[in-house]
Homo-oligomer: A and B are copies of this chain.
Amino acid sequence: MSIRHAILGFLSWKPLTGYELKKRFSDALSFHWSGNNNQVYGTLLALHREGAVTVEVIAQEKLPARKVYTITESGLGELQTWLASEPELPVVKSDFASRLAWAGLLGEGEYRKMLDSYAELLDAHILMCGERLKRGSEKPDRSEREAGLWYAIEEHTLALYRAERAWVGELTDTARAGSDASPEFRRTWPEHLEKGGFQP
């Protein structure tokens, strides 16, 4: 799965410029690509070289020319072939899970702080997502099913963040319960290291 297919997807909906594609990627909740220049303009160039899209250059007074890309039948064929191929498992890169794995090295207070700052980050992100959804940019809706799917995908993306938030809440509750039972500060050091050397 690369941005190539996602770009072909957008172009199957309507002709767009690189700039417009970039915006769609950075506005979307559910496409994980940042929509940076190199990625979009570069892929568009490759797509054109390979005959998957055509370009129409529309000169503008005072602003750089717009290059409007249109999908070709060959491009549409590639998109359909991809859609019919075997899907892949989702890949989740969780910085937080990686940290949590070693959070035993932290004291109670530092651990709580870690949970809190992640909860805060998630809350902010969830809020932002909600606002973006309310504003609601233009989406493909060539059929009932398509419109429904775009809605479903966005809801599902949000649901994932909410599940993550709920999990952090549970961890916080557990931490609270645990330290109420044994409130002393305890920092665990690796057994194979001398204690007392590095003290942050």
Contacts and interface: CB of A to CB of B under 8 A. Distances in A.
Contacts of A71: 190, 193
A156 B125 CA distance: 20
Contacts of A125: 89
A12 to B, nearest CB: 5
Contact of A188 (B70, B74, B146): B146
Contacts of A191: 14, 142
Contacts of A39: none
A103 B190 CA distance: 51
Interface of A: 1, 5-6, 9, 12-15, 30-32, 70-71, 73-74, 76-77, 79-84, 86-106, 110-111, 114, 117-118, 121-122, 125, 140, 142-146, 148-150, 152-153, 156-157, 159-160, 163-164, 167, 171, 174-175, 178, 186, 188, 190-193, 197-198, 200
